[in-house]
Amino acid sequence: MGLCVFVVPERWAVPLWEPVAGIARGLEVLEIVRLDAPGRTAVARRLGPARRFPAAAGAPHTLIVACDVPPVPGDGDAARRVARRIDAVAWHTTRRLWRDRPPVDDVVRYTVGPEAALDMLNVLNDAALRDRVLERVETLGDVCTIPFPVIRMLGADSPGFRARVALVDHPQYGRSVCKIFRPGAMEFYRRELSARTLLADQPLVPHLLDHGPNWLLTTEYTDDGAHRVRPLPGFGGIDQLRPWATRALAEFARTLHSRGLFMLDLSPQNLVSDPKAGLKVLDLEFVMPYTNFEVTPPPAQSAWTYRSLPAELAANIDLPRLALTRGVGNSVFHPAVAGLPIERLLGPARRGDGPRRVATQLGWYAALATGGRLHTALRRGR
């Protein structure tokens, strides 16, 4: 059980929605407890001298009780993986709170593991709170149970920040992939389901077999890596792409724009090349309509899929943090990955595109590899 409690001090409690939003990105928020004076004293005593907030941060102000998506039975490494994920959520929340204030080390304190979380709640002497939290944990487990026999979990970080993905044995479709979303991530479920429906005619969109109140069932695809050239050093999961794949993605982006949509999570990490079905984009949670922002869509060559959101709009939504997106909307269109600038990708193929692409990709590969070796050498020399 990935139950945990985050303790927010006075300094970071205004506005409270900021730490709540940071934690909710990766964990299911079960309860928000604003502490009264006795509660602040009890929580500070429970933290102990080593983890007490400094005077500048103020006393404990609020407890945010959260839980990771329950693991599937038989997942022997679940406890360690959940602990790592809670640490990652805490760091994400810390960076979020540092956006408008100087970086300090007194942002939040948190517990890891159900025993420590319940110990923290017990100091408030509120049996109803404890019972309510445990009931919500049980409900979360029921809602997030994959409704088909699981063959194995998919993804290195399952359960995921917003959803779990598993290879399942469906009674009608046989081996297929089920993606199930937690309650706090239903906006992502609705966006992906909408994208799968609106773009069902597109060859890069995975075939949707069925869906339920919080899950999607997709055809199982295998990946032969035909779209990849080579992995980029220092960027795990990001590969340089072959020209046919990049142009297919540019055409996909063009279609999105023509239908009033854009996408902000188009990364090599989310691509597979199936020997029969071809190139597929697996994750469509960040396909959104321009109408969400009440703006006039930009011209096609300036689509947000290529160029990203204007800065004044990007601050209002929780965007994925992806590498190699500076100057482009998605990493698949970065020169290090595509080998050509967006302007060349949007036009017809020209003479000289091939050598330019190869030279650009090799140049980025060499620069990143050299930078990585230099960084390692400097660290060893300290």
Residue 197: which CATH number?
Answer: 3.30.200.20
The pLDDT assigned to 379 comes to 44
Tell me whether residue 380 is in a domain.
Answer: no
Tell me whether residue 107 is in a domain.
Answer: yes
Q: Which of 285, 279, 278, 281 is nearest to 270 (CA)?
A: 281
Kindly state whether residues 311 and 293 are assigned to the same domain: yes
Kindly state whether residues 33 and 71 are assigned to the same domain: yes
What's the rounded Cα separation, in Å, for the pair 133 and 67?
A: 10
Tell me whether residue 373 is in a domain.
Answer: no
Q: Which of 88, 109, 143 is the last residue of a domain?
A: 143
Distance (Å) of CA 326 to CA 18, 155, 290, 336, 375: 25, 26, 21, 11, 22
How many domains, the chain? Answer: 3
Tell me whether residue 343 is in a domain.
Answer: yes
The pTM assigned to this predicted structure is: 0.87
Kindly state whether residues 156 and 94 are assigned to the same domain: no
Kindly state whether residues 213 and 237 are assigned to the same domain: no
Whether residue 305 has pLDDT greater than 90: yes
Average pLDDT of the residues in 211-216: 97
**CATH code at 107?**
3.30.70
Kindly state whether residues 267 and 348 are assigned to the same domain: yes
Q: Which of 126, 143, 160 is the last residue of a domain?
A: 143
Kindly state whether residues 276 and 361 are assigned to the same domain: yes
Average pLDDT, the chain: 89
Tell me whether residue 24 is in a domain.
Answer: yes
Kindly state whether residues 307 and 324 are assigned to the same domain: yes
Tell me whether residue 378 is in a domain.
Answer: no
Kindly state whether residues 344 and 312 are assigned to the same domain: yes
Tell me whether residue 310 is in a domain.
Answer: yes
Tens digit of pLDDT for each residue in 157-197? 544 578 889 999 999 999 999 999 999 999 999 999 999 99
Helix (H) or strand (E) holding 130: helix 127-143
Listed range (10-14, 70-74, 111-115, 134-138) with the worst mean pLDDT? 70-74
What's the rounded Cα separation, in Å, for the pair 93 and 161?
A: 13
Q: Which of 105, 111, 120 is nearest to 82 (CA)?
A: 111
Segments forming the whole domain that contains residue 23 = 3-143
Question: CB of 35 within 8 A of CB of 43?
Answer: yes
Most confident of 23-27, 69-73, 239-243, 369-373: 239-243
Q: Which of 167, 196, 219 is the last residue of a domain?
A: 219
Kindly state whether residues 45 and 128 are assigned to the same domain: yes
Beta strands at 174-181 and 150-154: parallel, antiparallel or unpaired: unpaired
Tens digit of pLDDT for each residue in 243-269? 999 999 999 999 999 999 999 889 999
Helix (H) or strand (E) holding 209: strand 208-211
Kindly state whether residues 208 and 97 are assigned to the same domain: no
Tell me whether residue 381 is in a domain.
Answer: no
Kindly state whether residues 179 and 242 are assigned to the same domain: no
Q: Label residue 373 by pLDDT band (50, 70, 90).
A: low
Kindly state whether residues 257 and 190 are assigned to the same domain: no
Question: CB of 368 within 8 A of CB of 233?
Answer: yes
Tens digit of pLDDT for each residue in 64-77? 999 987 766 555 56
